[in-house]
Structure 1
Amino acid sequence: MESLQRLSLLQSQLTAKPKPVDDVWASVNADQFLSAKGISLRQKTRTLMTSIEAPLQPYINNCEFPFEFLPALRDLGVNGYHIKDFGGPGLSSVEAGAICYELARIDASMMTFLTVHNSIGMAVVDYLGSEEQRQRILPDGIALKKIMSFGLTEPDYGSDATGLQTTAKKVDGGYILNGEKRWIGNATWADYIIIWAKNVDDKNKIQGFIVEKGQKGLSTKKIENKYALRMVQNADIKLDNVFVPDHNKLAKADDFATGTNKILEHSRIKVCWGAVGIAAGAYEAALQYALQRKQFGKSIAQFQLSQLKLSKMLAMCESMLIMVIHLSQMYEQGKTTIGQIGRTKSHCTSVAREVCAMARDLCGGNGILLENRVMKAFMDIEAIHTYEGTYEVNMLVSGREITGGMNAIKK
């Protein structure tokens, strides 16, 4: 009798029509790695992003930032990411990553804006600021009353962060900053820009300075004709004898290792999560298109060539998702290295590029339309692939660790 019941169950499973695997997150049961609060915030983020996907389209087309949605982002309760004080949510690394994933799954510009503001904006003040700086800046940042930016890269120095030319010179009551920055996200309208400069009076050590909007000598110009991350406002910055008072020098950023490098380890993990979110969004959009698009009398999802592409895309997304979950868990345990983080970032953005290309291919001629989302993902992953260190530089940092420093890039 028991054998007959098992046979009947097996037959029903074989004949039952399977449900499409249209949710990468659910396919690996990733909620098991979140707290109840984390699950709730992730779901709220997904609901918001789904609801504003269509209204965001005009902003994407016009390369404008959607300020009208800042209150909705604030009300999610995720802003602040890891910060526990001043009303911050105190998320774990996996939970903050899940928020980045959900943002990027629909729109990588929104993910980039919030991650710049949080992971290389407020996190700098939280980790490297004095208690006075934390209390003065973080409450308004968490409430999204003030926006933050991070000024590291320069016209001639991108991945070679230690080669920057912006200088800080000590004067009575503060410092004078001179130099230029490029590709600085949020900078055209940020209230605070963290500027990294060589302190010429302290052995040219790279240190951090908080430059406030409207300061004399500070000018920002939006970079035009950008096809990836179209809503993000990247800027060229000029600093012409900008005075920064002593209380705006980051208290704990003594040099590159204790300042910039420490922050990039933290923020680069969010970039990994963003890449996975972009890829997952592209896969899910391509699947929906394949299920609905009919050719030769049936949906293209019924053709084995389409199924092969979808299966490969899903496997790539699942493997990346599991990888970044594990990386975030190790980071919280203090067991990650800069090489491991860089290797993960390079791997995820590279694989995500392939997923986005396959998704665009699966959608045929309609794949170039922004309304199908895959083309936007296809363009956005190009920016993610090179920001916070190119593929090659991150992999070379990894290689230096693997080989024990042979042929090392000077840190």
Structure 2
Amino acid sequence: MKPQEPLSLDALTAIDGLLTHEELMIRDTVRRFVRERYLPRAAELFAKEQFATDLIPEIAQMGLLGASLEGYGCAGMNAVSYGLALAELEYGDSGLRSFVSVQGSLAMYPIRRFGSEDQKNKYLPKMAAGELIGCFGLTEPDAGSDPGSMKTRARKDGDSYVLTGTKMWITSAPICDLAVVWAKVDDGDASSIRGLIVERGAKGFETPTIHGKMSLRASPTGEIVLNEVRVPQENVLPGVVGLKGPLSCLTQARFGISWGALGAARACYEAAVAYTRERVQFGQPVAAKQLVQEQIVEMAMDIAKGQILALHYGRLKDAGGITPVQVSFCKKNNVGLALRAARKARGLLGGNGILLDYPVIRHALNLESVYTYEGTDEVHTLILGSALTGHNAF
């Protein structure tokens, strides 16, 4: 009996019928870009630890930098359109999606929400155009899941603040033109966490690259070293004091990650289906074997449920907002299912599953980082546990 054409995941969920014409157009535009401009280079970029900086103008042209923000040259996409775009970017590579997430949710968002009008006008249009690249300085060598224990300090000195400290695991730091750095500001007798915009070229500001990563190799990751960096008063974000500032940025990024991870999962799933349909053992394609079909079905069910969850929360966000707890739920669920899908796909490809000729091992390695950043899986578990039981376990 001749095998039938496999049913696509989009057909399984009938997801297209739930999307507007504009949402479909944005998704399909980014999908073409990733397949035509990024995927032919994806393995080489990963192998050589290189980021495709030459594609930044094209990414900006599609309106993907600060895509969900309003005004100042930003596209003003709704949450669902933005999520769909990130899923397509991560179908290419988590590093590609991370660049867009950091630029929009972690660098542009705090300026848009907490910045002065002068700061917004100075930075946001150029960031939306890809002319200025930003990064987000929160995590430190000894302050990851507990950002309140940060050691970076800013002391008042005349009309400036002097910054000292080190930030770690900072996406886009090596290529950034500016960094939104969160520090404990000593202002008289009080100490509070504030956001400061630090521009490239400031004396004492360095961003060494972190080498030797086995995950997110196609993403530019570095440190931010602050050695008595003088930051003018006008570069302090005036609209927020305390951890509310950086945590609100992380909530925006986590929402995007919950969509992006679905793209990585789908890439692994599609690679596994295509491979098992072609790979013949014992006189049959391995896709005809029951144990293989069981794993394919489990992957498809997981991804389909994740898509429906992300779409539901995207609609809620567009209707007036979702809570940080709901974002944690979506991030934990969807990154977890993506990592399971990558591991299943790696097994189904056998020895070929560890080759960069196929996308699976690249996504599997990348997702190990996605599982950890913007709140570890354990942190999201405790956020949900606290909400569901009323007891804080932190």
TM-score range, shorter chain: over 0.9
Describe the SS at the equivalent of 1:371: coil
Task: Answer whether contact 2:42 2:92 (CA < 8 A) is retained.
Answer: no
Describe the SS at the equivalent of 1:82: coil
Equivalent residue letter for 1:302 = A
Deviation, 1:25, is: 3.6
The question of 1:27 aligning with 2:20 is answered: no
Equivalent-residue separation in structure 1 for 2:21 and 2:344 (angstroms): 35
Equivalent residue letter for 1:123 = Y
Give 2:386's aligned residue: 400
Task: Answer whether contact 2:197 2:235 (CA < 8 A) is retained.
Answer: yes
Equivalent-residue separation in structure 1 for 2:215 and 2:335 (angstroms): 14
Equivalent-residue separation in structure 2 for 1:381 and 1:26 (angstroms): 25
Task: Answer whether contact 1:339 1:395 (CA < 8 A) is retained.
Answer: no
Equivalent residue letter for 1:40 = M
Matches within 5 A, 1:367-378: 367-378=353-364
Give 2:102's aligned residue: 116
Give 2:196's aligned residue: 209
Residue by residue over 1:2-54, the C-alpha shift from the partner in whole angstroms, topping out at 9 and shown as x without a partner, is: xxxxxxxxxxxxx99643124x3443233344332221121011111111212
Equivalent residue letter for 1:48 = F
Equivalent-residue separation in structure 1 for 2:2 and 2:25 (angstroms): 32
Q: Return closer, same or farther for 1:302/1:16 CA change in 2, 3 Å cut-off.
A: closer
Give 1:6's aligned residue: none
Which residue of the other structure, out of 296, 303, 319, is the alignment partner of 2:282? 296
Deviation, 1:213, is: 0.6
Equivalent-residue separation in structure 2 for 1:100 and 1:341 (angstroms): 16
Which residue of the other structure, out of 25, 28, 31, is the alignment partner of 1:40? 25
The question of 1:151 aligning with 2:137 is answered: yes
Which residue of the other structure, out of 318, 322, 331, is the alignment partner of 1:332? 318
Residue by residue over 1:328-377, the C-alpha shift from the partner in whole angstroms, topping out at 9 and shown as x without a partner, is: 22223345222222122122222221111101101111111111111111
Describe the SS at the equivalent of 1:84: coil
TM-score normalized with structure 2 length: 0.95
State the percentage of identical aligned residues. Answer: 33
Describe the SS at the equivalent of 2:182: strand
The structure with the larger Rg is 1
Task: Answer whether contact 2:43 2:359 (CA < 8 A) is retained.
Answer: no
Query: Which has the higher mean CA deviation after the structures are superposed, 201-210 or 385-394?
Result: 201-210
Equivalent-residue separation in structure 1 for 2:256 and 2:117 (angstroms): 25
Equivalent residue letter for 1:82 = S
Give 2:153's aligned residue: 167
Task: Answer whether contact 1:184 1:236 (CA < 8 A) is retained.
Answer: yes
Equivalent-residue separation in structure 2 for 1:97 and 1:205 (angstroms): 33
The question of 1:272 aligning with 2:258 is answered: yes
Which residue of the other structure, out of 278, 285, 294, is the alignment partner of 1:308? 294
Query: Which has the higher mean CA deviation after the structures are superposed, 49-58 or 210-219?
Result: 49-58
Residue by residue over 1:228-262, the C-alpha shift from the partner in whole angstroms, topping out at 9 and shown as x without a partner, is: 111111112210111111111112122212x1121
Describe the SS at the equivalent of 2:258: helix
The question of 1:229 aligning with 2:216 is answered: yes
Residue by residue over 1:188-217, the C-alpha shift from the partner in whole angstroms, topping out at 9 and shown as x without a partner, is: 110110000011227322110000011101
* Count, aligned residues: 392
Equivalent-residue separation in structure 2 for 1:125 and 1:108 (angstroms): 24
Equivalent-residue separation in structure 2 for 1:201 and 1:210 (angstroms): 17
Unaligned runs of 5+ in 2: none
TM-score normalized with structure 1 length: 0.91
Describe the SS at the equivalent of 1:78: coil
Q: Report the aligned-residue RMSD.
A: 1.7
Equivalent residue letter for 2:34 = M
Describe the SS at the equivalent of 1:395: helix
Describe the SS at the equivalent of 2:173: coil
Equivalent-residue separation in structure 2 for 1:246 and 1:150 (angstroms): 19
Which residue of the other structure, out of 60, 70, 88, is the alignment partner of 2:46? 60
Describe the SS at the equivalent of 2:104: helix
Equivalent-residue separation in structure 2 for 1:78 and 1:182 (angstroms): 26
Describe the SS at the equivalent of 1:204: strand
Q: Return closer, same or farther for 1:237/1:87 CA change in 2, 3 Å cut-off.
A: closer
Task: Answer whether contact 1:152 1:181 (CA < 8 A) is retained.
Answer: yes
Describe the SS at the equivalent of 1:146: coil
Query: Which has the higher mean CA deviation after the structures are superposed, 366-375 or 326-335?
Result: 326-335
Matches within 5 A, 1:84-163: 84-163=70-149
Residue by residue over 1:90-109, the C-alpha shift from the partner in whole angstroms, topping out at 9 and shown as x without a partner, is: 11111111011001112111
Unaligned runs of 5+ in 1: 1-14
Task: Answer whether contact 2:338 2:367 (CA < 8 A) is retained.
Answer: yes
Give 2:334's aligned residue: 348
Residue by residue over 1:294-353, the C-alpha shift from the partner in whole angstroms, topping out at 9 and shown as x without a partner, is: 222222112222111111100010011111111222223345222222122122222221
Deviation, 1:403, is: 2.0
Describe the SS at the equivalent of 1:372: coil
Give 1:252's aligned residue: 239
Describe the SS at the equivalent of 1:226: coil
Equivalent-residue separation in structure 2 for 1:223 and 1:317 (angstroms): 32
Equivalent-residue separation in structure 2 for 1:174 and 1:408 (angstroms): 39
Deviation, 1:266, is: 1.4
Give 2:171's aligned residue: 185
Task: Answer whether contact 1:167 1:179 (CA < 8 A) is retained.
Answer: yes
